[in-house]
Amino acid sequence: MKPKIHFNEFRLPLFKAKVWVYITNNMRAALDEAEDKTSQVIAYEEEKRHIDSYTYAYEKDTGGKCYILFFKHNAKPGVIAHEVKHLINILFSWHGYKLSLSNDEMECYYLQDIVNKIHNVIKGYNKLYKR
């Protein structure tokens, strides 16, 4: 069976960060496709067998930053939130924004916005492939 991989890209407000999202029924194929596209080693071969969702970020030679999220087509809300939290931690850290325990409203808005976007991408995948 040919792997079904759906790619989507969106930008985040304020930081203007570009986020790539891969939704798939075959994580290894999606990781391999992203590695071909970026020329990055996103995961080692022995790891690829066990990955169900993944967050990867890197800085390009030009100084730009790239953020990539990978999900199975049937990812649960908690899994999406888990990976998005990794993304937010990286995003805020790289842009010099300190996370705050007393005022985390900005972080929560980002979490809500990104989870909603990924949920919609997964819905689009499942509609496209009639899941």
10 Å Cβ neighbour count for 109?
Answer: 12
Complete DSSP assignment for 66-106: EEEEEEETT--HHHHHHHHHHHHHHHHHHTTPPP-SS--HH
Q: pLDDT for 53-106, tens place per residue?
A: 999 999 988 888 999 999 999 999 999 999 999 999 999 999 898 888 898 999
What is the token pair recorded at 90? Answer: 């990286």
10 Å Cβ neighbour count for 97?
Answer: 14
What are the residue ranges spanned by the domains of the chain?
A: 5-123
Three-state DSSP at 53 gives strand
Q: Which residue has the higher pLDDT, 70 or 129?
A: 70
> Which band of pLDDT confidence, cut at 50, 70 and 90, is reported for residue 2?
confident
